Amino acid sequence: MAESNSDWFRAYMDDARPKTGAANSEDNIMNFGLAPYPAKNPGAAALDLVYQAAELIGDVDNYAAERQARAEALATQALEKLKVADDRVRAADSARRAAEAEMQEFSDRVEKQLNGRVQELEKEMERLVPRLASTEGQLAAALQRAKAAELRANEAENALKRVEETIRTKILEKRLVDLNRRPIRAA
């Protein structure tokens, strides 16, 4: 009879148990219902209820254990993902610091080279400025001499023109005078 009672109880629990589990039932309360035993055998009915309660407690414990295992698995996965994300953040931060250090080194090197080049250019300018001033002075003097030479050349050219003009006029006058002094001959 115990075997038939346990079979009945299992069938009853399968029908009475919510399909989504005990934790999802309304207010987590299970309805045991009444045993189909007549009132003549109250001991069997009580024993049946004890079996039902024990099986229900076992189901609830199993459900709780499944939930606990699921929660632990989710927590473990979340921790692993968090660790991976933390590792990525650390790696990205490390790469950023390395890139910043490299940029700073490059910037320092470029700045040093530029400063050296600027100093070289300043020294070269200091060296060339006096030469430039001297060259400008020489150029100004050469321009003055060129202007003076041009002026003298113009004066010489004018004087030459006057001499040529004088020579022409004197030669022409002399020829005219010579022509006028010559006797006219008859033919």
The answer to pTM > 0.85 is: no
Residues 107, 63: contact at Cβ < 8 Å?
no
Q: What is the secondary structure of 118-186 as a DSSP string? A: HHHHHHHHHHHHHHHHHHHHHHHHHHHHHHHHHHHHHHHHHHHHHHHHHHHHHHHHHHHHHHHHSPP--
pLDDT at 2: 46
Dihedral, CA of residue 114, residue 115, residue 120 and residue 122, to nearest 10: 110
Q: State the Cα–Cα distance between residues 51 and 34, nearest whole angstrom.
A: 13
Confidence at residue 102, expressed as pLDDT on a 0 to 100 scale = 95
DSSP 8-state symbol, 22: G
What is the structure's pLDDT at 115? 94
Q: Are 42 and 34 in contact (CB under 8 A)?
A: no
The pLDDT score that the predictor gives to residue 70 is 95
Enumerate the domain spans of the chain.
Answer: 2-93
User: What confidence tens digit (pLDDT) does each residue in 54-104 have?
Assistant: 999 999 999 999 999 999 999 999 999 999 999 999 999 999 999 999 999
What is the pLDDT tens value at each position of the chain, 187 positions in all? 445 556 666 665 565 555 554 444 455 555 555 545 555 788 888 899 999 999 999 999 999 999 999 999 999 999 999 999 999 999 999 999 999 999 999 999 999 999 999 999 999 988 888 888 888 889 999 999 999 999 999 999 999 999 888 888 888 777 777 777 766 666 5
- Residue 142: alpha-carbon gap to chain centroid: 60
Name, in order, each residue with C-beta under 8 angstroms of 63's C-beta and a sequence gap of 6 or more. 21, 22, 23
pLDDT of residue 93: 95
Q: How high is the pLDDT of residue 73?
A: 95
Distances (CA, A) of 144 to 3, 21, 154, 157: 139, 116, 15, 20
Q: At what angle do helices 42-181 and 2-16 cross, to 10 degrees?
A: 30
DSSP character at residue 37: S
